[in-house]
Structure 1
Amino acid sequence: MDKWEQELSREYVLTANQISKYEEDGHIFLTNVLGNESIAQFEKHITEWVMKLNNHDKPVSQRDTYGKAFIQIGNLWTRSEDIQRFVMAKRFAKIAANLMGVDGVRIYHDQALFKEPGGGHTPWHQDQIYWPLDTSNTITMWMPLVPIPQEVGTMTFASGTHKLGYVSRQEISDESHRTLGQFIEGRSIPQVNYGAMAAGDATFHAGWTIHSAPGNPTAFMRKVMTVIYVADGVRIAEPASKAQVNDMKQWFPGLGPGDLAASELNPLVYGRE
């Protein structure tokens, strides 16, 4: 076992206060989830594949709101053994299991989210409107591969909104930004942005937590890798939208409503002994 694998398998200890805070807010910021040497190693591999698979063919200024938000590439773990080591890391998966209070977690999928220089904001949205799952036990790790300055910052989270379930079925768009923004303001829901982040820090947020992200006014690419986890034993729900039908086909190949969310693309990455 090399030093990268040792770090990826070593436990990141959470306090009871951190877990209870996550349960209350639906999001948390953790420092030094992965060390500098390790994150630099994986950044090279992830960036190589993101640039290779990027299909944007227009300048940022000529794209729609979603296209301006980021370069988005999913399931990179299937492309590279090095990236697979990152995505399947027991260290990350156990954090996810402990925050959700479950005995085991599977990968739903990973996503690289690279916000280009001059890239636009990511509108307010709920991740889980896309996911045909019969549970609220989902969580996303959001980890920068490079330092993120204050003016770019983390995502902005609307605290406690994970307890509300569906608020709006709107997909990420200008309309979702207006509708959910008005909802947040109308209910005076607290908003949290954790500001600058070091490479290897991470946020974790629940699938129903409403969140957005600022644009990138800097000259540098905001490189982020995400891993989405779902509790082991969850079943696929009847899709409630075209987006959920597409997700079911893409992330759960060969499976349908009522089946365990456990295709070959959804390996068990942590289970309590």
Structure 2
Amino acid sequence: MIRKSEANDLPALTEEYALTKEQLAAYRDKGHIYLPGTASPEEIASYEPLIASLVRELNYHDKPVGERDTYGKAFIQIGNLWRRSEAVRRFVLARRFGKIAADLMGVDGVRIYHDQALFKEPGGGHTPWHQDQIYWPLDTMNTITMWMPLVPVTEEVGSMTFVNGSHKNGFLSREQISDESHRTFKSYIEGKKLETVTYGAMAAGDATFHAGWTLHSAPGNPTDRMREVMTIIYYADGTRAIEPDSVARQNDLKTWFPGTAPGEIAATELNPLVYSRSGTE
């Protein structure tokens, strides 16, 4: 395990990634964006082995891919890796990524909801259509997820597919990610003839960002290589928790905002401020 002093030798990820007015406008209109080179090849080469090693150590699956349900086939999902490793902490709490999130949402500061490694195994199944924010007990539209491959994602494996502008409609269904959510949203998309976009192949260190209400899915992994992806969820600083209206949100309130009551500011030790325009992070 890397000690704090050794983690300090890893790339700082503090240099800014400049966004154009056109990129900001496109994200706010479509609810998603592709940003090549969000992290450099050298930066990814430093962090990927450390993150991948931790995921292998914490992998909880005890059945072959073919014997799991749809959700289990989709990926190895490990959250809050930043709490388990000084090296991963440096990556997840990176100022560069936080500023991109704040700029895209047009807010003054962002906190971490949590990180998630989403490693899709060889032969892994598709990720059903879903909205992320049905899980999040937050009183805001200003939520965003960074999705960054740590290894090249080929056209054969593919990146995520998004429904343009779907974030503007907010809540669409209580369906959690499942076969049912896939059927429900697939019918919705086809019935309304909504436009979908996928960014195809991506290099390690490229990233997509999507809003919490943006409808999205991902294909399976037909290759013999692991699709290694790291995600980080951000929300606007100053956001308050809401009264949970589902078991999923009740669980998330307890898990990710321990001790926070509905109506209170959502800011615990699990939700550090990673970027602020006032420079107080």
Q: How far is 1:48 from its partner?
A: 1.0
Shift of 1:152: 1.1
Unaligned runs of 5+ in 2: 1-7
Report Cα offsets for 1:232-255 as digits up to 9, x if no partner.
Answer: 000000001001011111111111
- Provide, for residues 189-222 of structure 1, a one-character-per-residue CA deviation record: whole Å limited to 9, x for no partner: 1100100000000000000000000000000000
Displacement after TM superposition at 1:2 (Å): 4.9
Counterpart of 2:226?
221
Letter in 1 for 2:218: A
In the alignment, the residues of structure 1 paired with residue 222 and residue 46 of structure 2 have an alpha-carbon distance, to the nearest angstrom, of 26
Correspondence for 2:205: 200
Corresponding residue number in structure 1 for 2:259: 254
User: Does residue 84 of the first structure (1) align with residue 89 of the second (2)?
Assistant: yes
Deviations 1:18-38 (A, max 9, x none): 000000000000000101111
Percent of aligned positions with the same letter in both sequences?
68
1:167-182 aligned within 5 A: 167-182=172-187
Structural RMSD (CA): 0.8
Is the 2:10–2:87 Cα contact (8 Å) retained in structure 1?
A: no
Indicate which of 242, 245, 251 corresponds to 2:247: 242
Q: Distance in 1 between matches of 2:157 and 2:112?
A: 28
- For 2:236, the equivalent position in structure 1 comes to 231
Structure 1 unpaired stretches of 5+: none
For 1:185 and 1:242, how far apart are their aligned partners in 2? 29
Q: What is the total number of aligned residue pairs between the two structures?
A: 271
For 1:52, what is the secondary structure of its paired residue? Answer: helix
- Aligned residue type for 2:14: S
Cα separation, 1, equivalents of 2:70 and 2:14: 38
Deviates more, 1:249-258 or 1:173-182: 249-258
| Residue-by-residue CA offset, 1:26-85 (whole Å, 9 max, x unaligned) | 000000010111101111111111111111000000000000000000000000010000
Distance 2:187 2:133 in 1: 20
Match 1:4 to one of 11, 16, 38: 11
Distance of 1:180 and 1:19 partners within structure 2: 27
Q: What's the CA shift for 1:259?
A: 1.3
Give me the TM-score of the superposition, normalised by structure 2. 0.95
SS at match of 1:114: strand
**For 1:49 and 1:218, how far apart are their aligned partners in 2?**
22
Supply the distance in 1 between the matched residues of 2:164 and 2:212 (Cα, whole angstroms).
13
Equivalence for 2:118: 113
Is the 8 Å Cα contact of residues 11 and 43 (structure 2) preserved in structure 1? yes
Residue 63, structure 1, aligned to residue 47, structure 2: no
Q: Quote the residue 1:104 is aligned against.
A: 109
What does residue 135 of structure 2 align with?
130
Separation in structure 2 between the aligned mates of residue 41 and residue 185 of structure 1, nearest angstrom: 42
Do the aligned residues in 1 keep the contact of 2:10 with 2:46 (CA within 8 Å)? no
Per-residue CA distance 1:248-272 (angstroms, 9 max, x = gap): 1111111121111100000000000
What is the letter of the counterpart of residue 43 of structure 2? S
Structure 1 distance, partners of 2:40, 2:58, is 27
1:146 equivalent to 2:140? Answer: no
Distance 2:133 2:85 in 1: 27
Over 3 Å counting, the alpha-carbon distance change for 1:75 and 1:3 in structure 2 is closer
- Distance in structure 1 (CA, Å) of the matches to 2:49 and 2:252: 28
Secondary structure, counterpart of 2:245 in structure 1: coil
Distance in 2 (alpha carbons) for counterparts of 1:99 and 1:250: 27
